Amino acid sequence: MKLVYGRLADVYCYPTYATRPRESQHFPMKSDQDLYKQLRDLPKEELWTRAVPLFNAASPRERLEQVAVIRAVGMIFSRFGTEDEKNAVRNWLINLLKDPQEKVRRYALTALPKIGAGEEGEREMLALLKDVVEDHDGREIRHLGRALEKVGGEATLVVIEEGITLPAITVQRVKAGVSRKEDVGGVLLDAWLPHLPGDSDMRVLLRCRRGLEEFVREEAEEKLSSREWLIASVKPGCVTLKPLKEFKLATLYRIRCFATVAFPLGTVSDEEGSKWVEPLARCIASERASALMLSGTEGTPRYRMEIAGRGHQRGAIRQVIDRAYALCPEILNDARQAPWSIDVLPASRGISVVELRPRLYPDPRLGYRQDDIAAASHPPLAACMARLAGLSDDEVIWDPFCGSGLELIERGLLGGVTSVHGTDLDSRAIEVARVNIEGAGLQKTKAEFTECDFRKASLAPGSISLIITNPPLGRRVRIKDMQGLFADFYVAASRALRVGGRLVFVNPLRSTEPEDPTLVREYQQTVDLGGFNCRLEMYRKIGAGKSAKRLPGKRQQEKFKSTPKAKPEEKTPAPAPAWWSKGGHANSREARRRARN
Ligand SMILES: C[S@@+](CC[C@H](N)C(=O)[O-])C[C@H]1O[C@@H](n2cnc3c(N)ncnc32)[C@H](O)[C@@H]1O
């Protein structure tokens, strides 16, 4: 039976306590889980004003039967309670820590961290801890340990230092929590990270979306000194660097085309069970990992674990955390706001790789990003597109689907841009693009954003030197007629571009390309956009009547290495009026004829 906004009398299997005689015969009860599921569907007022008083007035045996009330109250009020309600619930739960029955105390212990135990809650937990330690109750110590892992602060540390024995993982998490609350512990971009003499295998992985690795390599070659770095390999989705001396993360974060930085620590087998516990703990506590974390963190280094594909092995993961702490107690596990992540990623043939990754939020390269939209581009992709476009002086840019403006900004940051124009149907996107471009501080660049369909952009024909855009891909932004949209897009692009101008965009459709022969494809590369492939393409506008060989995509992959400067401007024949804003369709023969002329 599923009760939505049910009544208390329907939730319990018998008349409520209020209506039945006190010493009535025993009625069959639901399991804690069933009762919890039904109680959590009650309105919170009914839970608090009826279920809780009934629970308070109940006999010890009835309390045990109704213990799910505690769980339901904890869950509902932690999510939907006002501050006053949370205070009242907190006091109630703290009182329940004194209940003579272990099960009632245990439920209260589990609910308190959700609602926020506060200093009083922590104090009462520690008082209870002292009692249960005297009683040698290992089970309750474990439960208290779990609760203190979440709420324990300075007071708990003092008790630990006094010598009270708590599970090692509790000690570790309490220390991590205290360090977190001191508001230190961020990754230091400017710290020197060590190049350990005996560690010739040390590598740095610059991970990126598959298909973008050549951009990362090229940018790394350009921005890193060859006296300090070697490019060890370029593989799909990853460029591996070998540092030749100590280095700073800040140097790596001058490269804009990669997504994340990681340091390989080793491998572990994918076998079930605990065979991987010791090797994984040793990776975390290794000299390389600890040296990187200790040098690169403000305060005590903390790490979280991100383990792909081992979701049901919580026990083994706790063992890893315990063992790593035993091997290297200077580094603490902490699931919340940890500056470092230990990633365990399936690699091949039953082997996972273990990597250390700095968690830099916000990404230091995106200081300009004041706001965001749901359909925003992946910033490193925008950076790759800007590099693909190449440099050209006096650049005038249009992004027909500008969203939050990342492509315009990334190209702007490369320099030489006179003005940027963005159009988007979404008024919020336009607002966000405006604040972002302001955040980018592109003083010399004029920026203009218009809320309109790209077909209605008021741009003089032949006025644009670069169109750079991540159009709707038909996933997050749904479009009824993608073919039609792209056909119109090519016509609009061809018309707006000056001769020599470039069109750089992400193409989600396999079978579209401009019908207009003055748009010539120079580059095409398949890119993984997070589980689906698109093609990153660049076209160049050539003068009408000029012939150009269409170059096959593959061979063009090297092309961007030395993207040529735009050809000197040629006189563009006056194009037809903006027909696409007047109800025409780019697929019609007339439309294509007009666009060509
Ligand atoms: C993939 S998002 C662009 C993301 C953008 N590059 C960024 O950095 O945030 C595509 C954008 O196209 C806009 N859009 C969809 N159809 C459009 C149209 N016909 N004219 C103009 N904008 C349109 C959507 O509102 C959306 O913001």
Cα(290)–Cα(295) distance, integer angstroms: 8
Cα(34)–Cα(38) distance, integer angstroms: 6
Higher pLDDT, 382 or 579: 382
Cα(549)–Cα(520) distance, integer angstroms: 8
Q: What is the mean pLDDT of residues 123-151?
A: 87
pLDDT digits (tens, 9 = 90+) for 537-570: 999 999 887 665 554 444 344 443 433 333 333 3
Q: What is the mean pLDDT of residues 114-122?
A: 94
Based on its alpha-carbon atoms, the radius of gyration of the chain, rounded to whole angstroms, reads 31
Give the DSSP letter of residue 187. B
Which of 368, 398, 406, 425 for mutating ligand 1's site (highest number of atoms within 8 Å of CB)? 425
Q: Report pLDDT for 35.
A: 92
- How many residues appear in the chain? 597
This prediction has a pTM of 0.79
pLDDT above 90 as % of the chain: 70
Q: Report pLDDT for 2.
A: 37
Per-residue confidence band for 494, with pLDDT thresholds at 50, 70 and 90: very high
Q: What is the mean pLDDT of residues 450-472?
A: 97
Q: Does ligand 1 lie within 6 Å of residue 482's CB atom?
A: no
**Which residue has a Cα nearest atom 22 of ligand 1?**
424
Low-confidence winner among 294-303, 493-502, 555-564 (lowest mean pLDDT): 555-564
Q: Report pLDDT for 121.
A: 96
Cα(426)–Cα(205) distance, integer angstroms: 37
Query: What is the CB neighbour count within 10 angstroms for residue 563?
Result: 17
Inform me whether the pLDDT recorded for 397 exceeds 90: yes
Please answer whether residues 59 and 23 qualify as being in contact, where contact means their C-beta atoms are separated by less than 8 angstroms: no
How much distance in Å is there from the Cα of 219 to the middle of ligand 1?
Answer: 27
Helix, strand, coil percentages, rounded to 5, for the chain: 40, 20, 40
**Which residue has a Cα nearest atom 18 of ligand 1?**
453
Q: Report pLDDT for 184.
A: 65
Low-confidence winner among 24-38, 186-200, 312-326, 506-520 (lowest mean pLDDT): 24-38
Q: Report pLDDT for 311.
A: 63
Q: Report pLDDT for 166.
A: 87
Q: Does ligand 1 lie within 6 Å of residue 374's CB atom?
A: no
Q: Annotate 533-595 with DSSP letters as a single string.
A: EEEEEEEEE--TT---PPPPTGGGGGGGGGPPPPPPP-PPPPPPP-GGGGT--TTSHHHHHHH
Q: Report pLDDT for 571.
A: 37
Q: What is the mean pLDDT of residues 89-117?
A: 95
Which of 477, 485, 529 for mutating ligand 1's site (highest number of atoms within 8 Å of CB)? 477
pLDDT digits (tens, 9 = 90+) for 228-275: 999 999 999 999 999 999 999 999 999 999 999 999 999 998 776 678
